[in-house]
C-alpha cells in the first residue's frame, strides 16, 4: 500500500508539472515575468526527497491505523485543496512564480479566505503523507526544511505580486 500511495502522489506531481509547463508558456507569451528562479530547484529536490524519505523510512515503522487513517484523509484533503487552487487560478497557476503585470489578484475559490492556500496544502501534505506510515522523521525533516523554503517562496511571491500591481 505504501508504494501505491507514493506512486499516486508522484503521478499527481507529474500532472502538476504538465499543467505548470503549459501555463508557463501561456504566461510568458503574455509578458509574464518569472521571479525566484534560485529557490525553484531547491523546492523540486525537497519534494522529491519527501517521497523518497517516505519510501526509505516507512518500511522500518509500524503502521498504526489510529494515526495512518486520519493522515490518509488529510493527504486526500490536501490534494483536493491543491486542485481547487489550480482551478481557481486557471492558467495563472504555476509551480514557478510567474506574474503577468496588470492582472488583478484572484479572489475566488480558496483565495477568498487565504492569500496562499496552495501552501496550506503543501504543509498539510508534508506532515500527513509520511505519517500515513508513521514515518515521523521524514515528516519532521521535510516540515522544517519546507518552513525555511516557504519563507523564501512566500516573500518572493508577495514581492512579485506587489510589483505587478504597482
For residues 97 and 35, the answer to whether their CB atoms sit within 8 Å is yes
CATH number, domain at 78?
1.20.120.1630
- In tens, the pLDDT along 116-135 reads 999 999 999 999 999 999 99
For residue 100, is pLDDT > 70? yes
**Structural domain count of the chain:** 1
For residue 65, is pLDDT > 70? yes
- Please, which pLDDT band fits residue 166 given cuts at 50, 70 and 90? low
For residues 116 and 157, the answer to whether their CB atoms sit within 8 Å is yes
Query: Domain limits at 102?
Result: 2-165
The mean per-residue pLDDT over the stretch 46-70 comes to 97
Q: What does the mean pLDDT of the chain come to?
A: 96
In sign, the C-alpha dihedral spanning 79, 81, 87, 93 is: negative
Q: What pLDDT is attached to residue 23? A: 98
pTM for this structure? 0.93
The mean per-residue pLDDT over the stretch 44-54 comes to 98
Q: What pLDDT is attached to residue 163? A: 79
Amino acid at each position: 500500500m505504501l508504494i501505491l500511495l507514493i506512486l499516486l502522489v508522484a503521478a499527481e506531481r507529474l500532472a502538476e508539472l504538465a499543467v505548470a509547463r503549459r501555463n508557463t508558456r501561456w504566461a510568458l507569451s503574455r509578458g509574464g515575468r518569472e521571479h525566484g528562479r534560485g529557490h525553484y530547484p531547491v523546492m523540486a529536490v525537497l519534494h522529491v526527497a519527501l517521497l523518497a524519505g517516505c519510501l526509505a523510512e516507512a518500511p522500518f515503522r509500524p503502521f498504526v491505523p489510529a494515526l495512518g487513517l486520519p493522515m490518509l484523509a488529510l493527504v486526500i484533503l490536501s490534494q483536493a485543496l491543491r486542485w481547487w487552487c489550480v482551478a481557481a487560478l486557471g492558467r495563472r497557476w504555476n509551480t514557478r512564480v510567474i506574474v503577468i503585470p496588470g492582472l488583478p489578484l484572484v479572489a475566488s475559490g480558496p483565495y477568498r479566505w487565504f492569500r496562499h492556500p496552495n501552501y496550506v496544502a503543501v504543509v498539510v501534505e508534508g506532515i500527513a503523507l509520511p505519517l500515513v506510515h508513521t514515518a515521523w522523521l521524514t515528516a519532521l525533516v521535510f516540515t522544517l526544511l519546507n518552513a525555511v523554503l516557504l519563507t523564501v517562496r512566500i516573500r518572493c511571491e508577495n514581492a512579485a505580486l506587489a510589483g505587478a500591481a504597482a
